Amino acid sequence: MSSSPPPPSNPARPIVCKFGGTSLAGAEQMRRVRDIVAADPARRVVVPSAPGKRTPDDRKITDLLYLCHDAAEQGLSFNEAFGVIADRFRGLVSDLGLNLDLDPLLDAARRGIADAAHAGRGPDYAASRGEALNGRVLAALLGCRCLDAADVIRFDAAGRLDADVTHDALTSALKRVDRAVIPGFYGSDPDGHIRTFSRGGSDVTGAVVARAVNASVYENWTDVSGLLTTDPRIVDNPAVIDSLTYRELRELSYSGATVLHAEAVFPVRAAGIPVNIRNTNAPDHPGTRIVATENAAPTAYPITGIAGRKDFTVISLEKDLMNEAVGYVERVLAVFSRAGVSVEHVPSGIDTLSVVVADAELAGKRDVLLEELRRTIAPDHLEIDPDLALIATVGRNMKTQPGMAATLFGALAKAGVNIRMIDQGSGELNIIVGVNAGDYETAVRAIYTAFIG
Ligand code: ASP
C-alpha cells in the first residue's frame, strides 16, 4: 500500500475536519491539530470533541461532566469533579500560551449544570460543555471564530436532529465566515435547551457540517491510521483498509468494527461526500477513504475486511413438509416480533428453519419465546444452540471473483474450524459464517491469512 499523502484538495470546496478527543487531549496534541489545519488552506471548518484521555488511566472530560450532572441531580456537591475539569482547561490555555480568559465560561457552565439538574432536564447541558469550552480554546489557537453549536445544530422537541433547520442555520452562518470552529456533539432544541447526540456524536456534527458546506471531503482525525482490516486484538498489526464503500463500512461496523458513529454516515453519503479517517499522530499517512460504490478504486486485497461478534444463539425448527406450507416463515418470524426479539439471520433448509439472534435480545424473553413457538408453530423438533460467533468477510470484489467462498471455507477447514452456519446476502458484499464461540479467534486468523497475508 502506498503511504503518499492524498492529492491536494479542491480549494473551492472546503474540507471539514473533525478531531476526536485523543487528538485534543493536551497542548502538544492541540499544536499538532493546528499544524494539520494550517497545512491545507481548504481546511476551513473544524469540529472538535472534548479533550479525551492523555494516558490510559486519565479521565475524559465528558465522563467527568456526566459525573457532575449525576451529583447535581442528587443534590450533592460537584465541586471536586468540576475543579478537575476547570484545572484541565486552564492548564491547556496556559500551556498553549493563549490570551483567553475562560473563567466567565467556566462559571456559566458550573451554574448551568446546577440549573439543568435542578430543572430535571437531564445530562445534555452538562455533557456538552466539554465541546463548548474546547471549541473556544481551539478557535483561539487557530485564530478564527467559534460558532456556538446551539445556534447552528438544531434538534426537534423529541431530541432528534432537525436536518432541514440545521442545514439552513449552518449554511447561512457559514456564508458569513471564512474559517470557523464548530464544537461537536451538541445543539439546541426548539425551546433553546441544549441537546446532545449519543456518545461519540461529534462525528455526526462533522458529517452534518460537511454536508451543509458541500465539503470536498469530511476528514475525521483520530488516533489510528484508518480502519483496520480486522481486530488488532486477534491479528497482530493488521493492514489498514485504504478505501471502502459506505455499504462495506456498514457491514463491517454492524459486525463489530468501530470507527465512526453509526449516524455519521448518512448525511455525507446522501451528498456523495467522501470520508477520510486520518491519524493526528501520523498526518502523512493517507488513512482510510470511505466513498460511494461508483467511486471506489480497486481494493489492495481480495477482500476489504473481516469483522465479527460472539454471543449469538441459533433456534432451529424442523417440521415435515415445511416447504409446502404457505406463510410458514412469516408465522415463525411473527412469534419473534411479538416477543420483541430482533432477528439477525434466517438460514433455511427444505424442512428446517434456523433463526439466529443475539443473546442480549433473548435476555428475559427466552422462555416466553420458546413457549410461543411450540404453541403456535408446533414444530416436530425445536433445538436451541448457544455460543455461536458470527464472522463477516466483507468485500466489494467478491461479486466478480470466482473462488472466494472456496478460499474462505478451505481456510477454515485447514484450521480445523467447523462451520455451523453460512449466509451470503444477495448483494454478494459479504459471506457470513457462524462458528463455535471458542473457534472465533482461530477462524478470524485463518480468514485473514488466506486473503490478506
Ligand atoms: N465528547 C463526547 C463523548 O465523549 C462526544 C465525542 O467525543 O464525539 O462521547
End-to-end CA distance of the chain: 13
* Ligand 1 and 160: CB distance under 6 A: no
Mutate to test the pocket of ligand 1, among 19, 59, 68, 199 (most ligand atoms within 8 A of CB): 199
**If you measure from the C-alpha of residue 221 to the centroid of ligand 1, how many angstroms do you get, rounded to a whole number?**
13
* Ligand 1 and 50: CB distance under 6 A: yes
CA distances from 31 to 43, 96, 144, 443 (A): 15, 8, 15, 42
**If you measure from the C-alpha of residue 54 to the centroid of ligand 1, how many angstroms do you get, rounded to a whole number?**
15
Query: Please, which residues bridge with residue 228 across strands?
Result: 240
* Ligand 1 and 18: CB distance under 6 A: no
pLDDT in the model for residue 368:
93
* Ligand 1 and 201: CB distance under 6 A: yes
pLDDT in the model for residue 1:
40
Mutate to test the pocket of ligand 1, among 61, 63, 131 (most ligand atoms within 8 A of CB): 131
**If you measure from the C-alpha of residue 119 to the centroid of ligand 1, how many angstroms do you get, rounded to a whole number?**
24
CA distance linking residue 86 with residue 328, whole number of Å: 62
Residue of 361, 263, 260, 348 lying closest to 309 (CA atoms): 361
pLDDT in the model for residue 222:
95
Mutate to test the pocket of ligand 1, among 46, 49, 59, 197 (most ligand atoms within 8 A of CB): 49
pLDDT tens readout for residues 96-119: 999 999 999 999 999 999 999 999
Residues with Cβ within 8 Å of residue 329, at least 6 apart in sequence: 346, 348, 353
Cell of 284: 502523512
pLDDT in the model for residue 12:
78
* Ligand 1 and 185: CB distance under 6 A: yes
* Ligand 1 and 186: CB distance under 6 A: no
pLDDT tens readout for residues 294-328: 778 888 899 999 999 999 999 999 988 877 778 88
* Ligand 1 and 134: CB distance under 6 A: no
**If you measure from the C-alpha of residue 166 to the centroid of ligand 1, how many angstroms do you get, rounded to a whole number?**
20
CA distance linking residue 264 with residue 103, whole number of Å: 33
**If you measure from the C-alpha of residue 137 to the centroid of ligand 1, how many angstroms do you get, rounded to a whole number?**
17
Residue of 187, 219, 225 lying closest to 206 (CA atoms): 219
The answer to whether the beta carbons of residues 187 and 149 sit under 8 Å apart is: yes
**If you measure from the C-alpha of residue 185 to the centroid of ligand 1, how many angstroms do you get, rounded to a whole number?**
6
Cell of 249: 463500512
Residues of the chain with pLDDT under 50: 1-3
Q: For the chain, percent helix, then strand, then coil, each to nearest 5?
A: 40, 20, 35
Closest ligand 1 atom number to CA of residue 198: 9
Q: At residue 336, what is the residue type?
A: F
